[in-house]
Amino acid sequence: MDLERLGTAGDGAIRSRRGREREQENGKYLIALVGMSVLLLSTYQTCVAAAADWRSELVILRVDRKIDLTSHIVRVVMSLKVENTGSTRASDVIVAFPPGQVDNLAYLRASAAEGRGKNKVTVPLTANPFQSEDVPSGAALFSIALLKPLNKGETVTIEVLSVFTHSLMPLPEEITQAQSQLVIYRDSAYVLSPYPVKLQSTTVKTPSPRIESYTKVDPTKVVDAEIKYGPYENLPAFSFSSFIVHFENNQPFAVVKELVREIEISHWGNVQITEHYHLVHGGARLKAGFSRIEYQARPNIRGASSFKSLVARLPPRAHSVYYRDEIGNISTSHLKSDTRKTELEIEPRYPMFGGWQATFTIGYGLPLQDFLFQAADGRRYLNLTFASPFNDVVIDKLIVKVALPEGSKDPHVSIPISSVDQQQETKYSYLDTVGRTVVVLSKKNVIPEHNVFFQVYYNFSTFSMLAEPLMLVTGFFFFFLACILYSHFDFSISKSSVSYLAKLQREEVQDAIQRLQSVMNLRLAVSEKLEASLRDLARTGDVQACKAARKAADATLKDTAKELKSIHEFLQSSTQASHILPKVEELIHKEKEKQEKLLLKHSIVVDSVDKKLPSKEIDSRIASHEQKLVLLKQEVDELLQAVDDI
């Protein structure tokens, strides 16, 4: 148990800082934080100051203690009625635990009852470890600060809940599959107290009426599954009388040796939780093998001490739940979900018998808006439960890692539990460049009572969200840029090799063909215009415009003819062009023929219009040309297509 070191000099910086903060707003916190567990409020100095006179004249009028042994976690509830018989005011009440027990103490909570009857409310009190020389045989003390100091003759009722783990020792230590598990529990029949106790009684509750043996400290009484010690009267301070109960306890002794919870926040809408368990059955070890046929026939008798499944209560709207281990998915799990919770029932690959182990991982996603909020000062904070979602497990070591999104700064943790170690590390996940800040919290000996909400505050700018998409975009951009550059550079080593020269020539030929095509297109456009001018002529009778068009066309054709000739010559000279040369030549030839025919037709029409011949006459004169022109046009189109395909 690590409570004993609280408030001492060896503490981490973060903890003492929080201690200071707490000190300032002590009173406010006390009322506000209902249900809070052990608080470390008063500081060491006050402890020391009180040390001199801590055994002031307090007397405990009455103690009722209930020891609950029904699961493998031992819960002890003490209700103390304290009276101040001395003259000085008392502000603290000290409770004591026997030396063996305190090592297993996982949790301590004190509360005071205020008011009477229906108005009765419990107010949490603070308890912290307390040290004194004046204690027999190393008993551990805790001082509980009262709400208001106790004056002479006044009484106060305090309730103390203490929870112990690993306190039930299996006896025998090894059992067979058919045996049920017997455990022993040791404690003192008298409540260990630094004050004299007037009247006290203790009730021990066991899970079943099967109690093998118990120590008698008269008066002792057994009723069903309850052993009652007491009442005892007028015992001096630090009275001790050991008792041992040996009884049957077949509750699942589910102990998690180590649990690593990884919480990863993504501002794109998800909180991913991954929990790695190392589960052990902490009860009596199985001896002489496991017989499937017996277990199969009567699992409740021939496997009484084993447990088959565990139930986890996940937050509502948990999604993408998985359950696997290092060798793959485990197919034995059930998920039930409604609006208030998600219930995950997992079965390890085999029934868990005493001493058997299993490691597994469960993971689930949570909607971001349910767990991430923005604080008043602009910081964001995650609000999530601390411990495992499984019922009734003891976690020997819990490590919670909160991975904040990349680019978050100044993480700050607020947690209402004591003795949590805090560290920071960096983690690299998908597309991370500088890494994510990971806040690592670790605590030993964790029980379900520790499953409270904690907060991680951090600064985060929304622009950081865009960093990763932008990175991807840039990456692709440079990739394509590289591709473009590659296709524009010449990487050949030898500039004089045959293949390189051939390649160059090929490119030149291609170039020439492209030029040829553009020239052809120009010429085609010219003929289109001529045709258009003829149509205009037929419509408007404007001979002048038609003649002008003819003039322009002539000039263009003349120039392009030159160009064509040069291309033709080049192709003739090139060896690489031999296979396309016939087509090209045919094209040039046909196209020329076509242009000539068109020009001829044009001049005939213009002449006829000048001579004011009737349109029928004109039609008959150009009919033969027209027919040829259509054929030529078709051929030229085909040839152009063919050249295009080369």
Under rule CB under 8 A, residue 429 binds other proteins: yes
Q: CA–CA separation, 135 vs 144, rounded Å?
A: 17
Question: What is the smallest separation between the CB atom of 508 and other proteins, expressed in angstroms?
Answer: 7
The span of 66-74, 132-140, 382-390, 629-637 binding other proteins (CB under 8 A) equals 629-637
Q: CA–CA separation, 230 vs 247, rounded Å?
A: 20
| Extended strands (E) in 447-532 | 453-459
Under rule CB under 8 A, residue 521 binds other proteins: yes
Question: 256 to 295, contacts with other proteins by CB under 8 A?
Answer: 288-293
Query: Which residue number, 226 or 586, has a Cβ lying nearer to other proteins?
Result: 586
Find, among 242, 178, 249, the residue nearest to 212 by Cα.
Answer: 249
Question: What is the smallest separation between the CB atom of 380 and other proteins, expressed in angstroms?
Answer: 23
Is-cis flag, bond preceding 351, omega within 30?
no
Q: What distance lies between CA 4 and its chain's CA centroid?
A: 34
Half-sphere exposure of 228 (CA within 13 A, CB side): 11
Find, among 30, 12, 52, 240, the residue nearest to 126 by Cα.
Answer: 30
Q: CA–CA separation, 65 vs 204, rounded Å?
A: 9
Query: Which residue number, 34 or 555, has a Cβ lying nearer to other proteins?
Result: 555
Question: What is the smallest separation between the CB atom of 431 and other proteins, expressed in angstroms?
Answer: 5
Q: CA–CA separation, 457 vs 383, rounded Å?
A: 9
Q: In this chain, which of 514, 572, 615, 624 binds other proteins, going by CB under 8 A? A: 514
Question: What is the smallest separation between the CB atom of 293 and other proteins, expressed in angstroms?
Answer: 5
Q: What is the DSSP string of 320-344?
A: EEEEEETTEE---EEEEE-SS-EEE
Burial of 310 (0-12, 13-18, 19+ CB in 10 A): buried
Find, among 27, 143, 53, 57, the residue nearest to 96 by Cα.
Answer: 143
Question: What is the smallest separation between the CB atom of 619 and other proteins, expressed in angstroms?
Answer: 24
Query: Which residue number, 129 or 348, has a Cβ lying nearer to other proteins?
Result: 348
Question: 79 to 138, contacts with other proteins by CB under 8 A?
Answer: none
Q: What is the DSSP string of 179-248?
A: SPPEEEEEEESSPP-SS-EEEEEEEEE-SSS-EEEE---SSEEEETTEEEEEEEEEEPTT---EEEEEEE
Under 8 Å between Cβ of 344 and 321: yes
Under 8 Å between Cβ of 259 and 276: yes
The span of 66-74, 241-249, 407-415, 518-526 binding other proteins (CB under 8 A) equals 518-526
Q: CA–CA separation, 27 vs 523, rounded Å?
A: 98
Query: Which residue number, 119 or 499, has a Cβ lying nearer to other proteins?
Result: 499
Q: CA–CA separation, 555 vs 599, rounded Å?
A: 13
The span of 147-155, 267-275, 373-381, 429-437 binding other proteins (CB under 8 A) equals 429-437
Q: CA–CA separation, 587 vs 589, rounded Å?
A: 5
Q: In this chain, which of 133, 377, 490, 644 binds other proteins, going by CB under 8 A? A: 644
Under rule CB under 8 A, residue 522 binds other proteins: yes
Q: In this chain, which of 430, 463, 486, 491 binds other proteins, going by CB under 8 A? A: 430
Question: What is the smallest separation between the CB atom of 491 and other proteins, expressed in angstroms?
Answer: 13
Structure tokens at 500: 């390189």
Under rule CB under 8 A, residue 378 binds other proteins: no
Q: What distance lies between CA 76 and its chain's CA centroid?
A: 37
| 413 CB neighbour count, 10 Å cutoff | 20
Query: Which residue number, 295 or 390, has a Cβ lying nearer to other proteins?
Result: 295
Query: Which residue number, 26 or 433, has a Cβ lying nearer to other proteins?
Result: 433
| End-to-end CA separation in angstroms for the chain | 87
Pairing of strands 197-205, 58-68: parallel
How many binding residues for other proteins (CB under 8 A)? 45
Under rule CB under 8 A, residue 575 binds other proteins: no
The span of 159-167, 228-236, 476-484, 556-564 binding other proteins (CB under 8 A) equals 556-564
Under rule CB under 8 A, residue 645 binds other proteins: yes
Under rule CB under 8 A, residue 561 binds other proteins: no
Question: Across the beta sheet with 380-385, what order do the strands follow?
Answer: 372-374, 380-385, 453-459, 409-414
Question: What is the smallest separation between the CB atom of 602 and other proteins, expressed in angstroms?
Answer: 19
Question: What is the smallest separation between the CB atom of 515 and other proteins, expressed in angstroms?
Answer: 5
Query: Which residue number, 72 or 523, has a Cβ lying nearer to other proteins?
Result: 523
The span of 115-123, 387-395, 508-516, 597-605 binding other proteins (CB under 8 A) equals 508-516
Question: What is the smallest separation between the CB atom of 631 and other proteins, expressed in angstroms?
Answer: 7
Under rule CB under 8 A, residue 26 binds other proteins: no
Under rule CB under 8 A, residue 511 binds other proteins: yes
Question: What is the smallest separation between the CB atom of 289 and other proteins, expressed in angstroms?
Answer: 5
Question: What is the smallest separation between the CB atom of 297 and other proteins, expressed in angstroms?
Answer: 9
The span of 140-148, 393-401, 505-513, 581-589 binding other proteins (CB under 8 A) equals 505-513
Q: In this chain, which of 158, 273, 512, 580 binds other proteins, going by CB under 8 A? A: 512
Q: In this chain, which of 432, 536, 586, 593 binds other proteins, going by CB under 8 A? A: 432
Query: Which residue number, 240 or 356, has a Cβ lying nearer to other proteins?
Result: 356
Q: In this chain, which of 85, 374, 414, 518 binds other proteins, going by CB under 8 A? A: 518
Under rule CB under 8 A, residue 431 binds other proteins: yes
Under rule CB under 8 A, residue 576 binds other proteins: no
The span of 99-107, 183-191, 237-245, 513-521 binding other proteins (CB under 8 A) equals 513-521
Q: CA–CA separation, 644 vs 646, rounded Å?
A: 6
The span of 101-109, 132-140, 374-382, 633-641 binding other proteins (CB under 8 A) equals 633-641
Per-residue mark of binding to other proteins, 291-330 (x: CB under 8 A): xxx-------------------------------x-xxxx
> What is residue 352's three-state secondary structure?
strand
Q: CA–CA separation, 87 vs 151, rounded Å?
A: 8
Is-cis flag, bond preceding 231, omega within 30?
yes
Per-residue mark of binding to other proteins, 342-361 (x: CB under 8 A): -------xx----xxxxx--
Q: CA–CA separation, 8 vs 24, rounded Å?
A: 19
> What are phi and psi for residue 271, nearest 5 degrees?
-115, 115
Query: Which residue number, 423 or 634, has a Cβ lying nearer to other proteins?
Result: 634
> What is residue 381's three-state secondary structure?
strand
Find, among 316, 319, 356, 359, the residue nearest to 340 by Cα.
Answer: 316
Query: Which residue number, 421 or 563, has a Cβ lying nearer to other proteins?
Result: 563
Under 8 Å between Cβ of 213 and 194: no
Positions that interact with other proteins (CB under 8 A): 288-293, 325, 327-332, 349-350, 355-359, 428-433, 508, 511-512, 514-515, 518, 521-522, 525, 555-556, 559, 563, 631, 634-635, 641, 644-645
